[in-house]
Amino acid sequence: MTAAALCEMLNLIPLAGMEGKNKEVTGGYIGDLLSWVMGRCKEGDAWITVMGNRNAVAVALLRDVSCIILCEDAELDADARTKADEEGIFIVRSSLPAYELAIRLSALLK
Amino acid sequence: MNALKKHYIVPGDDFTRAGEASGKVKGTLKQLGYNSDVIRRVAIAMYEGEINMVIHAGGGEADVSIYPDRVEIILSDHGPGIPNVELAMQEGYSTAPDDVRSLGFGAGMGLPNIKKYTDEMRIDTKIGVGTQMYMTIRVHP
């Protein structure tokens, strides 16, 4: 399933990095501590977080996650948006909490 | 064996730019056809090192040597030095300030992550002079 398809099925709002929307989603990861996420998430994961800063985009880029899902309407910083657009890191937003998103993501990936 | 050598300045005044050097190295390794395991380990270890230099040392420099069988990274800074390396290596230990924590860092994972993802790691540090970190990531068959 592509990140774009995931976005549509979970009613997520696309915010940035549209060039990266066709990356394949192969799993999910929840985390806000960037070093923790950096060391543990997997390539292709949809990363659910409240971190909408430029460092989060750097982590997403370095670890090749499929997309960043900002949960609970977390903010995306302006410079993070620019960086995500430049690098093709697809960022979407949801009002749902991380737990709810993970349940729905898991059902879609089964 | 000839190495492809790269040199980067890691700016100390802009926290949001940390990761640019590791991003470039990742791109180079990808172009050269290194396997994804090596690229992942280099990216994680070097990014953590960059972040450390920005948080604690006001930036620094990165020298990367790319060999067919390994990648060597030397990170050098002129920061305050690390008073107790053993303590700093412990997972969960951090001296990062609160503003850095609010950005999602300072979990005390930096050095442990570097150790975990490199094959060799050495820290030379002198209080008031600076720190040099040497890392080697080998290409495992």
Range of the domain at A15: 3-109
Region B11-17 average pLDDT: 82
What CA–CA distance (Å, rounded) separates B116 from A39? 9
> Which DSSP symbol is given to A88?
T
Structure tokens at B11: 């700016």
Q: What is the mean pLDDT of chain B?
A: 93
Cα–Cα distance, A23 to A51 (Å, whole number): 21
ipTM of model over 0.85: no
Q: How many domains does one find in chain A?
A: 1
pLDDT at B73 over 80: yes
Q: How far is B37 from chain A (nearest CA, A)?
A: 11
pTM of the prediction? Answer: 0.88
pLDDT of residue B121: 97
- Verify whether the Cβ–Cβ distance A53 to B51 is below 8 Å: no
User: What pLDDT is recorded for position A47?
Assistant: 98
**Angle, helix A78-87 to helix A54-63, in steps of 10 degrees:** 20
Instruction: Find all residues with CB under 8 Å of B26, minimum gap 6, and list them.
Output: A62, B39, B42, B43
pLDDT at B104: 85
Q: How many residues does chain A have?
A: 110
Cβ-defined contact of B19 to A36 (cutoff 8 Å): no
* Chain segment B100-130, per-residue pLDDT in tens: 888 888 888 889 999 999 999 999 999 999 9
Contact A34 B113 (CB under 8 A): no
Query: Residue A80's domain is classified under what CATH number?
Result: 3.40.1390.20
Mean pLDDT, residues B43-61 taken together:
94
For A40: left if phi > 0, alpha if psi spans -120 to 50, otherwise beta; the answer is alpha
Burial class (CB in 10 A: 0-12, 13-18, 19+), A87: middle
| Structure confidence at residue B11 (pLDDT) | 92
Tokens found for residue B141: 């068959």
Return the pLDDT at A65.
97
Is A92 in contact with A67 (CB distance < 8 Å)? Answer: yes
Rounded average pLDDT over A96-100? 98
How many other CB atoms are found less than 10 A from the CB of residue B111? 24
Instruction: Tell me which chain B residue has its CA closest to the CA of residue A54.
Output: B16
Which of A32, A35, A54 lies at the smallest CB-CB distance from B16? A54
Could you tell me where the DSSP H helices lie in chain B?
20-32, 36-57, 85-88, 98-101, 110-117
Nearest-by-CA chain A residue for B94: A35
A13-17, A34-38, A77-81, B21-25: least confident range: A34-38
Question: Chain A partners of B111 at a C-beta cutoff of 8 Å?
Answer: none
What is the predicted pLDDT for the residue at A52? Answer: 97
The answer to whether the Cβ–Cβ distance between B44 and A39 falls below 8 Å is yes
Domains, chain B, ranges and CATH? 4-138 (3.30.565.10)
What pLDDT is attached to residue B141?
73
* Structure-block tokens of residue B98: 């609160």
CB-CB contact of B24 with B42 (8 Å): no
- pLDDT tier for residue B71 given thresholds of 50, 70 and 90: very high
pLDDT at B13 over 80: no
Give the mean pLDDT of B74-98: 93
Structure confidence at residue A99 as a pLDDT band (50, 70, 90): very high
CA distance A76 to chain B (A): 12
Give the A:B interface size as CB pairs under 8 Å.
65
Q: Which residues pair with A29 in a beta bridge?
A: A47
Q: Answer whether A55 sits within 8 Å of B104, measured CB to CB.
A: yes
